[in-house]
């Protein structure tokens, strides 16, 4: 068994208007390489806080977060940014594409910021665009694409740095039913090829496509079930 990530007794507190809000109260779980897991829970359950911690966008108040065997919970901002860039692929509900760039250029962005945009990686980014079904759209810009096509660009971009895992935040939230199914089929295909995916969603239909469902409530793990 090889782990992609592991969190132990993870806590996150916020102070709002002088009051301490305990967003996460001691969350422990692990994700093996190759798993496809949905994170669910009602509003206020801690989903967004957990997403920020798993994505190395924030640090916990207490507890440990092991990513590729390294505890990253106490790293400083610069080190955390380096870990995030090298190990995590992000897919957002709103795509977060750069409108002035073409499909291929958007996919190249993570490698550009890491200083790794050589000829071989440029070719790989073109291959990733083809992998997600955009062979005929390589030089189009986001405004020339449908929502589903934009999300395909975002998925290809998330693969550019060959991450430990893909972290997807409500990736079908802005898509119609048919397009959502196409995007979920793409995630399924990536997972069957060995990619580890952690997907945050509030939709039962989306979670049903995953192999495991982790439910949060009041900052704790309420259930952890394999489909």
CATH topology of domain 34-62+76-226: Rossmann fold (3.40.50)
Closest CA to 48 of 85, 86, 2, 92: 92
Closest CA to 156 of 86, 107, 85, 102: 107
- Residue 94 carries which DSSP code? T
The average confidence (pLDDT) of the chain is 94
| pLDDT for position 125 | 96
Closest CA to 12 of 68, 83, 65: 65
Closest CA to 8 of 30, 32, 40, 41: 30
CB atoms within 10 A of CB 34: 16
| pLDDT for position 68 | 82
Spatial separation of the C-alpha atoms in residues 167 and 36, rounded to whole Å: 10
The whole-model pTM stands at: 0.94
- Is residue 169 very low, low, confident or very high in pLDDT (cuts 50, 70, 90)? very high
Q: Does the pLDDT value for residue 1 go beyond 80?
A: no
Can you tell me whether residue 164 is helix, strand or coil? coil
| pLDDT for position 105 | 97
- Residue 27 carries which DSSP code? E
Residues in CB range of 76: below 8 A, 6 or more apart? none
Q: Does the pLDDT value for residue 170 go beyond 80?
A: yes
pLDDT in tens, 197-206: 999 999 999 9
- Is residue 73 very low, low, confident or very high in pLDDT (cuts 50, 70, 90)? very high
């Amino acid at each position: 068994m090889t782990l992609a990530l592991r969190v132990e007794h993870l806590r996150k507190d916020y102070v709002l208007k002088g009051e301490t809000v305990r967003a996460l109260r001691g969350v422990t779980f692990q994700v093996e390489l190759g798993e496809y897991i949905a994170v669910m829970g009602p509003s206020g359950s801690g989903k967004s806080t957990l997403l920020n911690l798993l994505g190395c966008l924030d640090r916990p108040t207490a507890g440990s977060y092991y990513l590729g065997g390294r505890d990253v919970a106490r790293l400083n901002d610069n080190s955390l940014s380096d870990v995030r860039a090298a190990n995590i692929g992000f897919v957002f509900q709103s795509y977060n594409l750069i409108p002035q760039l073409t499909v291929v250029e958007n996919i190249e962005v993570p490698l550009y910021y890491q200083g790794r945009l050589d000829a071989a990686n440029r070719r790989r980014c073109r291959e990733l665009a083809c992998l997600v079904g955009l062979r005929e759209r390589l030089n189009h810009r986001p405004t020339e694409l449908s929502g589903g096509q934009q999300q395909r660009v975002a998925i290809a971009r998330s693969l550019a740095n060959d991450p430990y895992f893909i972290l997807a935040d409500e990736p079908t939230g802005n898509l119609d039913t048919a397009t959502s199914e196409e995007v979920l089929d793409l995630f399924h295909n990536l997972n069957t090829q060995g990619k580890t995916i952690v997907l945050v969603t509030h939709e039962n239909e989306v979670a049903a496509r995953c192999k495991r469902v982790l439910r949060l409530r009041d900052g704790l793990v309420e259930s952890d079930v394999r489909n």
